[in-house]
Amino acid sequence: MILSFEFHYISQNALLENMLESICRDFEISYKIGKKENVINLYVKGDEQVLTDFSNFIAQRLPLSIFFKSTAVNVVETIENTMENINECTLCVPYTPKTIFTCQDKDSVLFLNPLINNEVGIATFNAKGVLLKENTTTIIDANETKSFDTLYDEVSKLVSSGEEVYINSASGSYVIGKIDESFKEKKDFIVIPTDLSVVEKMVVCRENEIKALASLEKPTIKFKVNLLYSSKDILAENRVKLKLSDELLLQNICERLHRDGIDFIYRDENKSVTCKYALEIDGKFTLLPQVEVCVLENGEILIISGDGYSAPVIKKNLKKFDVAAHAQFASIMQEHNLFDKKVSCFYLSKTNDDVLMHISEKTGMLDLIKFPIDKDIKEIFASISEDEIGQRLLANYKQQFPEFYANALNYQIPDNAPNNIYTIFGLVAVILGISDNIKDGSEKVVELAEDFGGQKGPSIDFLLIDKESIKSDFDILKLIRSSISFKLAGSDDTTLSFGLMEALAFFLSNSSDSCKENLSSEKTLLCGSFFGVRRFAELACKNIQASSKICLNRELPIDN
Cα–Cα dist 314/28, whole Å: 34
Question: Average pLDDT, stretch 285-312?
Answer: 94
pLDDT at 87: 86
CATH classification at residue 218: 3.90.870
The tens digit of pLDDT for each residue in 356-406 reads 999 998 888 999 999 999 999 999 999 999 999 999 999 999 999 999 999
Q: Does one domain contain both 415 and 493?
A: yes
Confidence of residue 317 (pLDDT cuts 50, 70, 90): low
Q: Would residue 301 count as lying in a domain?
A: no
Query: Residue 209 to residues 200, 213, 281, 300: CA-CA distances in angstroms?
Result: 11, 6, 32, 10
pLDDT at 185: 66
Q: Does one domain contain both 190 and 238?
A: yes
CATH classification at residue 386: 3.30.420.40
Closest among 318, 324, 321 to 349, alpha carbons compared:
324
Q: Does one domain contain both 378 and 493?
A: yes
Closest among 560, 33, 555 to 312, alpha carbons compared:
555
Give the predicted TM-score (pTM) of the model: 0.95
Check if the beta carbon of residue 457 is closer than 8 Å to that of residue 451.
no
Question: Average pLDDT, stretch 296-305?
Answer: 94
Q: Does one domain contain both 136 and 8?
A: no
Q: Would residue 427 count as lying in a domain?
A: yes
- Residue 82 pLDDT > 70, yes or no? no
Q: Does one domain contain both 217 and 263?
A: yes
- Residue 85 pLDDT > 80, yes or no? no
Q: Which residues contact 195 (CB under 8 A, 6 or more apart)?
A: 254, 255, 258, 263
| Strands laid side by side in the 355-360 sheet | 472-473, 364-370, 355-360, 343-347, 523-527, 549-552
Radius of gyration of the chain from Cα atoms? 27
**Three-class SS string for 285-322?**
ECCCCCCEEEECCCCCEEEEECCCCCCHHHHHHHHHCC
Q: Would residue 304 count as lying in a domain?
A: no
The tens digit of pLDDT for each residue in 115-154 reads 999 999 999 999 999 999 999 999 999 999 999 999 999 9
- Most distant CA pair in the chain: distance in Å? 85
Strand partners, 376: 412
Q: Does one domain contain both 476 and 384?
A: yes
Q: Does one domain contain both 161 and 69?
A: no
Q: Which residue has the higher pLDDT, 437 or 87?
A: 437
Phi, psi for 501 (deg, rounded to 5): -65, -45
Q: Would residue 559 count as lying in a domain?
A: no
The tens digit of pLDDT for each residue in 221-276 reads 999 999 999 999 899 889 999 999 999 999 999 999 999 999 999 999 987 668 99
Confidence of residue 79 (pLDDT cuts 50, 70, 90): confident
Q: Does one domain contain both 172 and 207?
A: yes
Q: Give me the chain's average pLDDT, please.
A: 94
Cα–Cα dist 513/548, whole Å: 8
The tens digit of pLDDT for each residue in 175-200 reads 999 998 777 667 789 999 999 999 99
Q: Does one domain contain both 57 and 157?
A: no
Lowest mean pLDDT among 203-212, 310-319, 512-521: 310-319
CATH classification at residue 39: 3.30.70.100
pLDDT at 83: 67
- Residue 555 pLDDT > 90, yes or no? yes
pLDDT at 458: 96
Count of C-beta atoms within a 10 Å radius of residue 320? 9
* CA 210, chain centre distance (Å): 14
Q: Does one domain contain both 422 and 469?
A: yes
How many structural domains comprise the chain?
3
Q: Does one domain contain both 193 and 271?
A: yes
Q: Would residue 47 count as lying in a domain?
A: yes
Q: Would residue 504 count as lying in a domain?
A: yes
Q: Would residue 353 count as lying in a domain?
A: no
The tens digit of pLDDT for each residue in 409-465 reads 999 999 999 999 999 999 999 999 999 999 999 999 999 999 999 889 999 999 999
Q: Does one domain contain both 257 and 378?
A: no
The boundaries of the domain holding residue 136 are 97-285
pLDDT at 47: 94
Cα–Cα dist 358/343, whole Å: 6
Q: Would residue 330 count as lying in a domain?
A: no
